[in-house]
Amino acid sequence: MFAVTVRNTLCRSNYAVQSASLLFYRHAHAHPTPQQDPHHHKSHINHHRRLDLHDWPTSKDPTPFEIFNLKQKDMGMPQLELKRHIKRHYLAYVKLYHPDTSLTIHEKGEELSAEEKRRRFDQIQQAYDLLKDPRRRVAYSRYQTARTRGPTYGPAQHGYTKEHFEAYRAANAQRRQYDFQNNEEFWQAGTWEDYYRMKYKREPPTKEEFEKNKYKILAGVIAFGALGFALQIVNTYNRTNEMLLDSQKRTLKSMHDLNEHSDNFGQGNSEADGLRRFLVSRRTSLKSKKYDEDTEPEPNDKELLVKYAKKRVGQWDKAAD
């Protein structure tokens, strides 16, 4: 019994020594555990592909067709299938971009901001509201076709046919006035009558009503034209009077300047007037010579006039002899 106990004890001791040796060997030859790089990130999840969605359009202002991955040819698919396509995409977009349930989305290596996701969700909602309504969807399809292709046929001879309306609509697709956001009724209408009802909220006038009121319309046009013509005549008359008044003013001014020149600007043209002007000029010249004021008295005008008169009388007497 004692021998059995000793043998069991030795067996346990040998097993313990072997286990310790094995652990020591493994620890000595074990490879170092690689440390996790704090800058290492797992690859980002592409939620668009996970939810079977195409990538977000690259254009700044994508169209509803681009957002829901629709082509013009897809408008010909069955309505139930088209409705399911739009609904499926919309629910997937809600999971990604709704402000309350939006996921972390990366694009071009950067995380989308909350403002950008909100902006995309608003575009998705507007596109869905448009595409889920068959009437609005068809109208928008017309708008897109007209913008890309332009008019493919000429207007009909009669100006009130459906073909003429289609040609007019296609020709004006690029104009801001007829943009889909500004004038959706223009693209929803099928004829001129439909457009009139949508635009003015009333029934268009019939041919009988037009024939019935055409003389009243003609009288109104004539009256309006006559009023405009009368106003033009009155305006022309007033302008003519103003021009005549300006011409008379210029004539009076010219006559006044001529009289002033004839009268030598108030100085007179007679010999006496000329002598008076000479005396005034001579007196002024003499006064300017201060060195002569002490030696030579200032001449009297009366004496000068008397001398001048005697001289002239002498000249006349000689001429008479």
Alpha-carbon distance of 39 to 124, in angstroms, equals 35
Alpha-carbon distance of 188 to 138, in angstroms, equals 7
Instruction: Indicate whether 101 pLDDT > 90.
Output: no
Higher pLDDT, 295 or 11: 295
| Lowest mean pLDDT, pick from 22-31, 47-56, 261-270, 311-320 | 22-31
Instruction: Indicate whether 88 pLDDT > 60.
Output: yes
- pTM for the model stands at 0.43
Neighbour-count burial for 302-317, b at 16+ CB within 10 Å, e otherwise: eeeeeeeeeeeeeeee
Six-digit token string for 235: 């305006």
The reported pLDDT for the residue numbered 316 is 80
User: pLDDT over 70 for what percent of the chain?
Assistant: 56
pLDDT in tens, 7-19: 444 444 454 444 4
The reported pLDDT for the residue numbered 228 is 92
Higher pLDDT, 300 or 243: 243
Instruction: Indicate whether 68 pLDDT > 90.
Output: yes
What is the enclosing helix (H) or strand (E) of 110? strand 110-111
The reported pLDDT for the residue numbered 305 is 72
| Lowest mean pLDDT, pick from 5-19, 53-67, 88-102, 232-246 | 5-19
Instruction: Indicate whether 100 pLDDT > 70.
Output: yes
Average pLDDT over residues 188-213: 69
pLDDT in tens, 212-224: 777 888 888 899 9
* 51, 92 Cβ separation under 8 angstroms: yes
* 160, 210 Cβ separation under 8 angstroms: no
* 18, 12 Cβ separation under 8 angstroms: no
Query: Residue 292: which pLDDT band, with cuts at 50, 70 and 90?
Result: low
The reported pLDDT for the residue numbered 67 is 93
The reported pLDDT for the residue numbered 301 is 66
Torsion of CA 283, 286, 290, 293, to 10 degrees: -80
For 162-170, the CB contacts below 8 A with 24+ separation are 162/190, 162/191, 165/189, 165/190, 165/191, 165/192, 165/195, 169/142, 170/146
The reported pLDDT for the residue numbered 109 is 82
Alpha-carbon distance of 223 to 242, in angstroms, equals 29
Phi, psi for residue 26 in degrees, rounded to 5? -65, -40
